[in-house]
Amino acid sequence: MQDAAGHAAIDYQVLRAQSMAQWLRKELGKNSFSMTGSEFPVVVSTQNWQKTLGSHVVWGSADVAFDPSTSMYKMTLTLHAEDYYNFNKGEHDIATGRNWCQFILFLRNNMN
């Protein structure tokens, strides 16, 4: 991902999952388990990503295994994202400054 804000959000989710896996292993007393995180809002900073996703939420789910003989964790993490092209009512396009409703009308009126 070439969007700094989006990249930071993904990095945060990975670190959060690692920390939560270590905590859950101690709390549950199990060496293997599955976990799912809560939604985390992401606001992207570049035009390409804003027009692709805009503001959206991400969350992770993972299968975790801990090997007591090596004290190593193995985690298969899946990041999920949700937006469904809602155009974030009330927000504005980075390039034009128009709100999304105005921007869509502008595109409709100026396309052949």
Q: What is the pLDDT of residues 30-84, one digit of tens each?
A: 999 999 988 877 766 777 666 666 667 778 899 999 999 999 999 998 888 776 5
- Per-residue pLDDT of 85-111, as tens digits, reads 555 566 666 666 766 556 556 666 665
Q: Domain residues of the chain, as ranges? A: 4-86
pLDDT at 38: 85
Non-local (6+) Cβ contacts of 15 within 8 A are none
What does 7-33 look like in DSSP terms, one character per residue? Answer: HHHHHHHHHHHHHHHHHHHHHHT-SEE
Candidates 38, 43, 42, 41; CA nearest to 20 is: 38
Distance CA(34)–CA(29), nearest Å, equals 13
pLDDT at 80: 83
- 18: tokens are 């690692």
Distance CA(104)–CA(92), nearest Å, equals 11
Rounded to two decimals, what is the model's pTM? 0.63
